[in-house]
Structure 1
Amino acid sequence: MISRRAFLGASAAAATFPLWGKGFASAATPDTFKLAFDDQTGAGATYAYVTGTTLDGKLVVLKADGTPYYPPSPAAQTPLAEDCAIPIKTLSQVTVPKMAGARVTFATDAKLDFFVNPGPALVPPSFVNTDDVNYNRNWSFCEFTFNNDVLFANISYVDFVAFPLGLHLTTTGSGDQTVSGLPAKSLDSIADALKAQGGAWTSLIEAGPDGTPLRALSAHYRADQFSGYLDGYIDQVWQKYAGTDLTVDTQVPGLGVFTGRVGSDGVLKFNNGEAFTKPVTADVWSCDSGPFAIKDGDSDARKAIIPRLAAALNRTTLLDNANQPTGEDPAKFYQAAETNHYARIVHSKLPDNRGYAFPYDDVSPGPDFSGAVQAGDPDTLTVTVNALR
C-alpha cells in the first residue's frame, strides 16, 4: 500500500516515505482515465469539482463541461473565473488528464465558491473558518493522484466526515477494486457517538444554522481542546521502553528493522541513530508536528519509523505491542480509555473497516485499513455520492 501522504500532500499531510506493499506494471499509465459519478444523495442538485496540479506543476480545474481549465495567476485573490461545477445529474462521466494532489469535491443543492490566489494557488472551501462563504454548505471530497505510474485514489476522513462517498475502480486488466466507505446517513450516528463519548469529543461536531450536524472534524482541528489528553498513556509508553526494547519494522525493502529505548534524557533512541523526544497529544493527532514532523534532509529510515510510532499511538497499541507493526490486531485498536475516539467511531461504522481516519491509517502488518484503490492500468473510477441524511 502506498501512503496517501506520499502521493497527495493533502491538508493534514506532508510527503513521507512510501509504504510499499503492492507493485505496478512497468508500462506507463494511459494519458487519461474516466471519472464517473453515481449520485445517490437524493438532493435536487449535486455538483462535482475536480482540482489538482499537472505533473509539471500547473493548477488545473475541470470546467462544468468536463474540459480542463488552467487558471492564470491573478494580482490578488479573485473568484475562479470559469464555472467549474460539474452537474453530475446530467454529466455523469468526465475524462481526467494526469494530475497530482487532486481532489474531487462534491456539493449538494448549492454550488461552492472557489478562489485563486497569486501563484496561481487554489483556495478551496474551508471547514474550520466560520466566515468562509462555503462553511454552512454541504460538501465532501475524495482524493487522487494520477501520474505516469499509477492512479491512486482514497476516501479520507483525516479532515472530517460529511456525506459519505464510495469508490469503485475498473482497470484494463488487473481487476476491479472497491472501497465502500461509510454507509449513507452515517454522519448523525457518528455525531451521536461523539456526544456520548463526552468531553472534548463533542467539540468536533460542526452544526449548521438549523442545529443539525454539517460535519464531524478530526481531533487535530480541535487540538486545543485536548491538551494533556494522552499524557498518561504516552508517559506509560515512555516508561516501558526505558527498560524494554521497542522494535519497529520499517516494512521497506533495504531498510529493515530497528530497535530503540528511552534513555535517561527521556529521548527514544534507535540503533540507527534516529531519536525522538516524547510527543504531546497534538503531535499524535496531527502525525506531523513535534517529533513526528518530517524535515528536509530526514533519512528514509526516520520517514518510515514516524508513521509506525504515530499509528500505534493513535490506536493506543504501542504500550502493549513492542514489535510494531508486526502482530497488530484491529480488535485491539482504540481500546484504551483515552484514545483516538474519532478514529474508533469512524472505523466502527465502516462495513469493510477501510478509510483513513488519521494520516497514517495505512500502517498495517497486512490488512488494508486505508480505503485506497490503485492501479497502473486504470479505466474508470466511479465515485458513489451517498445521502447525508
Structure 2
Amino acid sequence: MATLNFNLVNQSGSSTAYAYITGQAIDNSNALFLLRADGKTAYYPTSPSATLTALAQDCAIPLGAVGSTTTVTIPYLAGARLWFVRDGKLTFYLNPGPALVEPSSSNPSDANYNLFWDFCEFTWNSSQLYVNITYVDFVSLPIALALTNTSGTTKTVQGLPADGLATICTALKAQNTTDGAGWDKLIVTNNGTNLRAVSPNTGIVLNSGLFSTYYAAYVNQVWSKYASTTLTVNTQASAGDVTATVSNGTLNFSTGSITYAQPSTADIFSNSSGAFAVSGNSTKDAITARLAAAFNRSTLLIDTNQPNGETVANYYQNPVTNHYSRICHATTLGNRGYAFPYDDVAPANGTDQSGSVYDSSPKLLTVTLGGGATTTAAESVERVAAGTDAPAPLTGNPKQSRLRKTLRKLFQKK
C-alpha cells in the first residue's frame, strides 16, 4: 500500500496543540478513515447503533513543544482534512453509516465551537497530491504549506501571518464602519477574544437576515448592462467561449439553452444555491463557476469577458463586493487562499488565488501551524487597504473548480 509522510510543525505558540486527519481510504473501498494518535495507525470506524457515538480510538496527534516537528504517515485518501486545534482537543462523533460528525463553525451548540481550531484540505491518489488552505467557511489559525517533490522542487502557500486573525477582524470592523452592511457580525468571540472570522455564507447561518439584499442593486446593474451588451464567458473546457445577453429578465446563453435568473445574495456567497445550484450539465456548471467568481469579485460591470478579461487588480473594486474575501486575500502572505468555493477561477495563464499546491510526484508535505510572520498594526492596515503583495504565478493545473466543489460535498456533515 502506498504511503506518504507529512511533517507537522508547531509554531502555534502553544505546547498543547493537536492534529487530526480524516478522509476516505481509496485503497480500502473509500472507507471512512481517521489516523490514530501515534500518527501512523489507521482507524476505520464501524457503523454505530446510535447517532453521536464517541470514537473508539484516540485520534488526537500531539504536536509537542513549540518548534517541534511531528511526522505522520498517510495512505491514499480522498476528500481528506488535516485539522488543528490549539489549547484543547477536538470532539468528533460517529453516526450510523458510519458517517463522521465533524466540528462545526456554524453551530454554537457544537462541542468545539469555543475552541481555536482550523483545517486544510487534501486528496492524495495515484495521480497527484492536491492540498489547499481554505477560508471558505471561516478563518482562525494560520496554516502554511510546503510541498516538496521527488526532484527536490518545493511549492509553497504562506497563508496568514501570525497576527492574521486580528488583522482580518480589524479590517471587517473598518469595512462595517464604511458601509454598515454587517461585516462585524462575521467575527466570533469568546470572553472578548477573537476565535474566528466566518465567511458571509456561514455568517448568514449564524445571523438571521444578515446580507439579505446586499447584492440586489449590483445584480440589477449587471442585468441592465447585459441587456444591451454581450457577456462572453470562457468555460476553460470543451465548450470554449460562450456568449449571453439578458432578455425578459433572464441571462440567456448562446449554447445548450442555458439560462440564469437573477442570483440572490445567498446564491452569490454560497456559489451553490438557487441560480447557482449545481445542475449536472458540465457546460452550465463551468459557466456557473465563472459567474459566481465574477459576482464575488464584482468584476461584471468592468469586464465583459469572464474570466479572461480580468486582472487581479480589478478584483473587489466595486463598493458592493465580497469584502471578507478581499480582506482574507489582502491579509495572507502572497494573497492566496480559498475565500469562496470558486476562488480557484482565474484567467488563462493568470494568477492563482486558491492557496493550493499539487504535484504528481510528491515526496514530503510540510504543514506549519502558527504563521511565519507578524506585522505591526500600521503595516496590517496598509496591506489590507492596498493589497500590495503580488500573487504567485499559477503553475500546474488551472482548472480545480470542479474538484473543489466535489471536495466541498464530501466534507459536508452527514
Is TM more than 0.5 here? yes
Q: Say which of 207, 219, 226 aligns to 2:200.
A: 219
Residue identity in the other structure for 1:276: Y
CA–CA separation in structure 2 for the residues paired with 1:174 and 1:308: 35
Unaligned runs of at least 5 residues, structure 2: 375-414
CA–CA separation in structure 1 for the residues paired with 2:134 and 2:107: 20
Q: Say which of 291, 294, 318 aligns to 1:336.
A: 318
Task: Please give the TM-score of this superposition, normalised by the length of structure 2.
Answer: 0.83
Question: How big is the shift at 1:387?
Answer: 5.8
Greater shift in the superposed pair: 97-106 or 172-181: 172-181
Question: How big is the shift at 1:327?
Answer: 2.5
Distance change >3 Å, CA 247–CA 268, structure 1 → 2: same
1:185 aligns with 2:158: no
Aligned to 2:233: 248
2:112 aligns to what SS in structure 1?
A: coil
Deviation beyond 4 Å, 4+ runs, structure 1: none
Question: How big is the shift at 1:337?
Answer: 1.2
1:52–1:102 CA contact under 8 A, matched in 2: yes
Higher helix content, 1 or 2: 2
1:302 aligns to what SS in structure 2?
A: helix
Task: Please give the TM-score of this superposition, normalised by the length of structure 1.
Answer: 0.89
1:34–1:96 CA contact under 8 A, matched in 2: yes
CA–CA separation in structure 1 for the residues paired with 2:283 and 2:156: 32
Aligned to 1:113: 91
Q: Say which of 339, 351, 354 aligns to 1:370.
A: 354
CA–CA separation in structure 1 for the residues paired with 2:343 and 2:104: 23
Question: What is the RMSD of the two structures over their aligned residues, measured on CA atoms?
Answer: 1.5
Unaligned runs of at least 5 residues, structure 1: 1-29
1:37 aligns with 2:8: yes
CA–CA separation in structure 2 for the residues paired with 1:63 and 1:194: 38
CA–CA separation in structure 1 for the residues paired with 2:344 and 2:152: 22
CA–CA separation in structure 1 for the residues paired with 2:70 and 2:224: 56
CA–CA separation in structure 1 for the residues paired with 2:331 and 2:167: 9
CA–CA separation in structure 2 for the residues paired with 1:249 and 1:57: 34
Q: 1:268-279 counterparts in 2 under 5 A?
A: 268-272=251-255, 273-279=257-263
Aligned to 1:206: 188
Equivalenced residue count is 355
2:325 aligns to what SS in structure 1?
A: helix
1:72 aligns with 2:54: no
Question: 1:62-113 CA distances to partner (integer Å, 9 max, x unpaired)?
Answer: 0001211000000112011100000122770111101111100001121111
1:318 aligns with 2:300: yes
Sequence identity (%): 50
Question: How big is the shift at 1:57?
Answer: 2.3
1:226 aligns to what SS in structure 2?
A: coil
Question: How big is the shift at 1:117?
Answer: 0.6
2:138–2:202 CA contact under 8 A, matched in 1: no
Aligned to 1:86: 61
1:225 aligns to what SS in structure 2?
A: coil
Question: How big is the shift at 1:175?
Answer: 2.4
Residue identity in the other structure for 1:229: Y
